[in-house]
Amino acid sequence: MSTQIRGAEVVMKCLVAEGVSTIFGYPGGAIMPIYDALYDFRDTVTHHLVRHEQGAIHAAQGYARTSKTVGVCFATSGPGATNLITGIADAMIDSTPVVCITGQVASHLLGTDAFQETDVIGISMPVTKWNIQVTRAEDIQPALAKAFYIARSGRPGPVLIDITKDAQFGLTEFEYKPFGEIRSYNPSPKLDVEAVKKAAELLNSAKKPYLLVGQGIILSSAEKALVEFAEKSGIPVASTLLGLGAIPANHPQYVGYLGMHGNYAPNVLTNDCDVLLGVGLRFDDRVTGDTSRYAKQAQIIHIDIDKSELGKIVDTKIAIHADANEALQELTKWIEPKKHDQWIQQFRDLEAIEDEQIIQNVIHPVKNELKMAEVVHKLSEKTDGRAIVVTDVGQHQMVTSRYYKYKESNNNITSGGLGTMGFGLPAAIGAKLGNPDKTTVLIVGDGGFQMTIQELGTILQSKVDVKIIILNNNFLGMVRQWQQLFFEKRYSFTDIVNPDFCAIARGYGLEAVKIDERDQLDGALDDLLNSKGAYLLEIVVEQEENVFPMVATGASVSEIRLS
């Protein structure tokens, strides 16, 4: 005679079967049966109690990115579920695999505006890779198996499962059956070898070939294939924000960071190459600038696992629907060994201009005020570019992406496509738990830090060893920069009066120090990195420091400003 168990226990057994060992969440009425079942799995699964549901989803994102597994979070119905939406949208655009499990009112109350009832399926549909509402206990297991399959396969993304309270209480038999395939869903496209050969022909005949790489390299574990292809082809390589670390920053063919606040050379010379190969990137507006003036002289080859991205933003000569790792390995077979020393020297010449006009002035400043860039530069040197670095969103994010020299992948954890302020602190918690053996440093602005500052409570309770650097300029810095450059210095509500961050941190059990002098910086960073347990370092930086270079909205990438 078979034994029946409650749907809530089915949830936990499914998670264990999928290898889940870490969950971030916040309990409530509609998800209480699942939390009751979780009580009996405490030796197998560690649950981290966040202080707000947004913290749960961002922590799950950070965990997924550093562990290279699926992140998991729990929330209750109504406001609990809706508080996940920002993070779900962030995970969707940044291709982060997370499974969100929300409780829901009993099925007979659906559509009645019951207490804490919200149509989370309708709300989340545009920002999930897949979602489903489960109203029967027997449907929980297949829904969860399908959720994990969809979240991690192909281009990864977030999935939401909304489970009614009666389904959680309902009885059913349990046998875990991993999910196999979905008709019309093709997460592993067959590589078109003939298209790869044509791409190789274009590249072999090019005088100024150029390789742009995005996060798809990291998601497909194509870092080794990328280096092998680059070194055989001799082609210069530039990276998007989320692609940083896909190739080591000190590689002789790496020419810099693309985008609005990226490096001068890789932006300008986009409009000088003759063949442009993009692998695992979306050609989003921060990379292309004005698309009507983007690489019009070049024949473009685009490789991406998401077919919808091919031809969406830029016209392509050759579109290859494929996994980046598989495609690069095949392309390397057909590429001719070459050197493009003169072409790469053009990047180095422009790099020298940027170094003289911008970089040296901000990493070795003469003025008394500390600059964000010198802080990040010193941190990069002290950690040899090998720490996990989490950023929030704003000027500090752009400065970090420019001056932290990533030598390894999966170390750059940031909100790229959505640009979510408040992402940093909870994502750093998840990132550290996802790879506990590596030093994890959060670099955050004074504005974004206060959006999820309550997650210091999660650090306190879960004893998470996160090193926090607040770059405090008492402004919402990125918006202020735009107001200065494009709105005649009309600083409308961007100056911010801050609390005593160190006192707050100490209240949560963290050691905390504040500095505002250059001669304090070296020692303060050493203390931060050598500390046992979580630590907060507040650094007062120049109030009106701007981040350059900069591509203004509507400008061509070749019109990037140095001042």
Distance CA 157, CA 154 (A): 9
Angle, helices 85-93/53-67, rounded to nearest 10 degrees: 30
What is the pLDDT of the chain when averaged over all its residues? Answer: 97
Residue 562 placed within a domain: no
Cα separation, 241 vs 91, whole angstroms: 15
Q: Is 92 a catalytic residue?
A: no
Options 92, 398, 421, 478, the catalytic residue: 478
pLDDT score, position 297: 96
Q: Is residue 521 part of a domain?
A: yes
Q: 378: Cβ–Cβ under 8 A, 6 or more apart, which residues?
A: 521, 522, 525
**Residue 41 annotated to the active site:** no
* Inter-residue contact 551 to 285 (CB < 8 Å): no
> Mutual orientation of helices 193-205 and 324-334 as an angle, nearest 10°?
60
User: Please, what's the b/e burial string for 439-452 (b: 16 or more CB within 10 A of its CB; e: otherwise)?
Assistant: bbbbbbbbbbbbbb
Domain boundary among 314, 347, 380: 347
From 116, 329, 454, 484, the catalytic residue: 116
- Tally Cβ neighbours within 10 Å of residue 228: 15
Residues 401 and 310 in one domain: no
Tell me if residue 115 is catalytic.
yes
| pLDDT tens for each residue of 352-369 | 999 999 999 999 998 779
pLDDT, mean of residues 160-184:
94
Range 170-183 average pLDDT: 92
For 100-140, what is each residue's pLDDT tens digit? 999 999 999 999 999 999 999 999 999 999 999 999 999 99
Determine, yes or no, domain membership for 17.
Answer: yes
Q: Quick one: what percent of the chain has pLDDT higher than 70?
A: 100
| Structural domain total, the chain | 3
Average confidence (pLDDT) over 420-432: 98
Residue 398 designated active-site: no
* pLDDT average, residue stretch 151-174: 98
Provide the token pair at 364: 């070795």
What one-character DSSP code corresponds to residue 550? B
Instruction: Assign residue 122 the CATH number of its domain.
Output: 3.40.50.970
- pLDDT for the residue 2: 66
Which pair of structure tokens corresponds to residue 411? 């170390």
Predicted confidence at residue 162, as pLDDT, reads: 98
- The per-residue pLDDT for 397 is 98
- What does the pLDDT read at residue 184? 87
**Same-domain pairing of 480 and 451:** yes
pLDDT tens digit string along 222-272?
Answer: 999 999 999 999 999 999 999 999 999 999 999 999 999 999 999 999 999
On whether both 327 and 387 belong to a single domain, the answer is no
* φ/ψ (deg, to 5) at 463: 55, 55
Q: Is the pLDDT of residue 499 over 90?
A: yes
Which is catalytic among the residues 13, 165, 407, 514?
A: 165
345 is catalytic: no
Is 319 found in the same domain as 224? yes
Range of the domain at 370: 364-540
Q: Which among 53, 354, 374, 538 is annotated as catalytic?
A: 53
Residue at a domain's end among 123, 145, 173: 173
Average pLDDT over residues 50-66: 98
What is the per-residue pLDDT for 310?
97
Write the pLDDT tens digit of every residue in 445-458. Answer: 999 999 999 999 99
Largest CA distance in the chain: 80
pLDDT at 54: 98
Same domain membership, residue 259 and residue 157: no
Q: What pLDDT score does 368 carry?
A: 78
Indicate if 156 and 20 belong to the same structural domain. yes
168 and 24 within one domain: yes
